[in-house]
Amino acid sequence: MSRFAADAPPPAARDRSEPGLGTERRIDPSSWLAPETRGKPDPRTRPERRDRPEPAARPEPRPQPRSRPEPESRGRGRRSGARSGALQVDAKLMSAVDVEPILIDGLSKQFDDRWAVRDLSFTARPGRVTGLLGPTGAGKTTTLRMLVGLTRPASGTATFGDYAYASLRHPQRRVGTVLGRNFHPRHSGRDHLRVAAATAGVSDEQVDDLLYLVGLADAAARPAETYSLGMQQRLAIAGALLGEPDYLILDEPAIGLDPEGIRWLRGFLRSFAATGRVVLISSHLLKDAQQIVDDVVVIRDGRLLDTIDMAELAAGGGTTRVRVDDLSAARTALADLAETIVCGDEEGRFLRVRSQDVNEIGFRLYRSDVIVYELVREELDLEQLFFSALEGAA
């Protein structure tokens, strides 16, 4: 016998596979070991796993309800992280748009024998906040109601570009309005917005975003009857923002707001207008309006008294208060120098001249033989011009 044959493994090992089968027969490696080590595991090899019965298939776990992912910002910019009830200014994240101005042309309305609005004309331009200012009963709310089709005008037009409110496609989504605060007392703030979203044909996915935006996220489940006046005002503003409107019409929006709310309102309206949209508000709170509006429309008894560009007001520097013996002669003398307004106070009537060149003003009055009792420079502000316009129309 050759040494090759003597060294060969047992016959069973040479027959690598059984006839007719395509699977390889396993060889027990322990058959090659010395007798004293047979039956013991070889440390160089892994022990062979014994065939085990297949475990019974486990039932698939019941799928857990998935939490709705944070929606992408659609202009309201829901912020990541924990929410808080603090007011947020996110209108700057809204996409820019190109819209037509609001046009009020010869608008008039009469109730019985009293004119609420008479031949009123002005323009609220895109990208700007226009403030309709006047005392109580001046016709501010009536003007806004005619603009959105709630009151029929006796004459004149109020349009969004070339279209009246009723002619707009999806008007509730194009124009957001707050002309009062009407809530079902038992409805929560969230339910109120859901109902408003349904009537406007808007998905209620925006509801939580809006509640967060106006700082009512923590009170969303509370009944509206438990809200303070300021909270109700914020809820009304949230309803006006459903559908991301191009126009925002607010009647006395600052009423009931605390200082934080007024600060938020000011920042929000400015950022909303900065996207190219139109904001028209009414107010009699002059100090708040001065910080919010770009253009002022002063009305009294339904008539236009004055229009003021706040940028020009800030650049104008100031005015001069002039008391003279003859107001008519003084106005004639100063007609080609600057605009003059007849005003009044506890000391009597006087002229307010939109110029601080006291030397030129005094010289022209002297040349016209007008006796001057007072010639004083004044710093110009909205309150001053507002009352000047009212007193001049008296």
pLDDT for 314: 67
Same domain, 133 and 173: yes
Are residues 204 and 96 both part of a single domain?
yes
Specify the CATH number for the domain of residue 333: 3.30.70.100
For residues 214 and 244, state if they share a domain.
yes
Which residue type is seen at 291?
Q
Q: Of 311, 326, 350, which residue constitutes the final position of a domain? A: 311
From 274, 295, 311, the end of a domain falls on 311
| Euclidean distance between CA atoms 167 and 174, whole angstroms | 11
| pLDDT tens-digit readout, 209-254 | 889 888 899 999 999 889 888 888 889 989 999 888 999 999 988 8
Q: Which residues contact 168 (CB under 8 A, 6 or more apart)?
A: 160, 174, 175
| Calpha distance 103→126 (Å, rounded) | 11
Residue 44, domain member (yes or no): no
One domain for residues 275 and 177: yes
281 shares a domain with 341: no
- One domain for residues 379 and 250: no
| Residue 201 pLDDT | 79
Greatest mean pLDDT among 92-101, 173-182, 363-372 lies in 363-372
> Is 346 domain-assigned?
yes
Look up residue 118 and give its two tokens: 């008479």
Q: Return the pLDDT at 323.
A: 95
363-374 mean pLDDT: 94
143 and 197 inside one domain? yes
How far is 167 from 160, CA to CA, in rounded Å?
Answer: 10
Q: Are residues 306 and 358 in the same domain?
A: no
pLDDT at 260: 82
d(C-alpha 230, C-alpha 256), whole Å: 4
Higher pLDDT, 256 or 18: 256
Co-location of 302 and 352 in the same domain: no
- Predicted confidence at residue 394, as pLDDT, reads 55
Residue 205 included in any domain: yes
Same-domain pairing of 270 and 359: no
What local confidence, expressed as pLDDT, does residue 364 receive?
94
Angle at alpha carbon of residue 264, lines to 259 and 270, rounded to 5°: 130
pLDDT at 73 over 80: no
Residue 307: CB partners within 8 Å, gap ≥ 6? 122, 295, 296, 297, 298
Residues 300 and 346 in one domain: no
Residue 148 lies in a domain: yes
Alpha carbon 139 to chain centroid distance? Answer: 26
**Using a CB cutoff of 8 Å and minimum separation of 24, what contacts does 338-346 make?**
341/385, 341/388, 341/389, 341/392, 342/391, 342/392, 343/387, 343/388, 343/391, 343/392, 344/391, 344/394
- Residue at 24 is within a domain: yes
Alpha-carbon span 219 to 200, nearest angstrom: 23
Q: Are residues 145 and 235 in the same domain?
A: yes
Return d(Cα 143, Cα 121) in angstroms, integer. 10
The predicted structure's pLDDT at residue 258: 81
Q: Which pLDDT does position 30 carry in this prediction?
A: 47
Q: How many domains does the chain have?
A: 3
Greater pLDDT, 376 or 258: 376
CATH number at residue 156: 3.40.50.300
Half-sphere exposure of 166 (CA within 13 A, CB side): 7
Residue 184 clears pLDDT 60, i.e. is over it: yes
Pick the last residue of a domain from 311, 338, 370. Answer: 311
Q: What percent of the chain has pLDDT over 90?
A: 35
pLDDT at 63 over 60: no
Residue-wise pLDDT tens digits, 189-210:
999 999 988 888 777 778 888 8
For residues 302-315, average pLDDT: 80
- The answer as to whether 201 is a domain residue is yes
Per the structure, the complete domain to which residue 22 belongs is given by: 3-37
Give a yes or no: residue 177 inside a domain.
yes
Classify residue 75: in a domain, yes or no.
Answer: no
